[in-house]
């Protein structure tokens, strides 16, 4: 069994390898070669959350689980509040094959998912990237997105303006101008909008969104969270990583509950990757990607990390 600690991940998995691994996983899910097991999430008290995301990819030879959660006392300990570890198993024998630090991988696989949606669904001439949210994930989201189109500018909004410096610094690092804007301007100017917040009520309203926009809604991964008005999904073409999660705990939960969106109208992004769905059909279409975050994404990037760590002598082998 191989161990790849959190400290080794940064030099191993980059944006492109995360993109490739997650895209292959979405394609496998849509072909029916891979599926996610039901998510387990439990409150431990004092704001702590703990759970499991797991799945099987028969063709990609992935079986495993990401275990982890949210531990709000960690900031005072000087360690991240979000903690996760991926365990991989041999799908034939069930024997453990690897234990992999999952914190950075979670950010990379989440950013890979939205960047896949930008690559597949945004207008080819998209120039302005709009960011809603400026927390830990936002920098990863921006870095992955700008690889997919010739963006000339990043604009951003956040409930807590003091956090906007993260977006400004990331854009500067990427050689792009950044402007903090109000939501009206964000909707009017952005060709692609990524939402990545912990909001529990709509931030973007229907009137904010103009024809041709692509939205990647990435923050809503739990029942009750919401980032955009349900009406937006009602008039958009909606894509997701997994339909079952989208309608229960993703952004689409609200539009489906309100009767504005039928479950059958939601398309897995894997169908676009596999060529079974054309994706965007016109320059005026509004597309939404409801990125809920599935366990197979975690297994895919963890497996890539193990492969690279072994090749570079960075994995530790232990007997089981
Ligand atoms: P963070 O705590 O670092 O940042 C939180 C962000 O949400 C900040 O921009 C903050 O200003 C904003 N925010 C907080 N409360 C808000 C409110 N009531 N209304 C509007 N905005 C609010 O978190 P993070 O690590 O950047 O994660 C952001 C979100 O993404 C979380 O909801 C997290 O659960 C989710 N997430 C989703 C996936 C996925 O696969 N879809 C993966 C990782 C994280």
123 by DSSP, 3-state: which? coil
Q: How far is the CA of 217 from the centre of ligand 1 (A)?
A: 11
State whether the beta carbon of 101 lies less than 6 angstroms from ligand 1. Answer: no
109 C-alpha vs ligand 1 centroid, how far in Å? 15
Mutate which of 219, 240, 248 for ligand 1? The one with the most ligand atoms within 8 Å of its CB, which is: 219
Question: What distance in angstroms lies between residue 277's CA and the mean position of ligand 1's atoms?
Answer: 30
33 vs 37: CA distance, rounded Å: 13
User: What is this structure's pTM?
Assistant: 0.97
Domains (ranges, CATH) in the chain?
A: 2-106+296-317 (3.30.1780.10), 120-293 (3.40.50.720)
Regarding the beta carbon of 250 and ligand 1, being less than 6 Å apart is answered no
Beta bridge partners of 54: 65
The per-residue pLDDT for 75 is 87
pLDDT value for 140? 98
**Rounded distance, CA 101 to CA 66, Å?**
10
The answer to whether the CB of 242 falls within 8 A of the CB of 36 is yes
User: Can you tell me the distance from the alpha carbon of 76 to that of 9, in angstroms, rounded to the nearest whole number?
Assistant: 24
Question: Counting Cβ atoms within 10 Å, is residue 76 exposed (0-12), middle (13-18) or buried (19+)?
Answer: exposed
Which residues are part of the catalytic machinery?
66
Cα–Cα distance for residue pair 144/112, rounded to 1 Å: 6
Number of H helices, E strands in the chain: 12, 18
54 CB under 6 A from ligand 1? Answer: no
Whether the CB of 110 sits within 6 Å of ligand 1:
yes
Query: Is 256 a pocket residue for ligand 1 (Cβ < 6 Å)?
Result: no
For the chain (length 320 residues), average pLDDT per consecutive 10?
96 96 98 96 94 96 96 91 96 98 98 98 98 97 98 98 98 98 98 98 98 98 96 98 96 98 98 98 98 98 98 96
Label the pairing between strands 192-195 and 316-317.
unpaired
Q: How far is the CA of 162 from the centre of ligand 1 (A)?
A: 15
């Amino acid at each position: 069994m191989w161990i790849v600690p959190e400290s080794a991940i940064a030099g191993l998995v980059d944006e492109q390898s995360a993109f490739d691994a997650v895209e292959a996983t979405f394609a496998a899910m849509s072909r029916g070669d891979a599926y996610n097991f039901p998510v387990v999430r439990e409150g431990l008290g004092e704001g702590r959350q703990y759970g499991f995301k797991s799945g099987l990819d028969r063709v990609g030879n992935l079986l495993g689980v990401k275990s982890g959660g949210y531990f709000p006392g960690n900031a005072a300990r000087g360690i991240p509040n979000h903690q996760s570890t991926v365990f991989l198993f041999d799908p034939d024998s069930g024997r453990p094959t690897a234990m992999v630090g999952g914190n950075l991988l979670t950010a990379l696989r989440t950013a890979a998912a939205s960047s896949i949606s930008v690559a597949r669904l945004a207008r080819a001439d998209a120039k302005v990237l709009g960011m809603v949210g400026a927390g830990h994930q936002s920098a990863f989201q921006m870095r992955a997105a700008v690889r997919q189109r010739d963006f000339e500018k990043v604009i951003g909004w956040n409930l807590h303006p003091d956090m906007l410096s993260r977006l400004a610094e990331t854009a500067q690092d990427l050689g792009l101008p950044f402007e903090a804007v109000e939501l009206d301007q964000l909707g009017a100017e952005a060709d692609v909008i990524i939402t990545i917040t912990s909001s529990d009520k709509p931030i973007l309203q229907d009137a904010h969104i103009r024809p041709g926009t692509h939205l990647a809604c990435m923050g809503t991964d739990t029942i009750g969270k919401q980032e955009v008005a349900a009406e937006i999904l009602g008039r958009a073409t909606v894509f997701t990583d997994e339909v079952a999660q989208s309608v229960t705990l993703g952004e689409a939960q609200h539009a489906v509950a309100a009767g504005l969106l039928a479950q059958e109208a939601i398309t897995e992004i894997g169908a676009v990757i596999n060529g079974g769905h054309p994706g965007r059909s016109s320059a005026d279409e509004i597309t939404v990607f409801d990125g809920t975050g599935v366990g197979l994404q975690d297994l895919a990037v963890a497996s890539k990390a193990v492969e690279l760590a072994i090749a570079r002598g960075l994995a530790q082998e232990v007997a089981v």
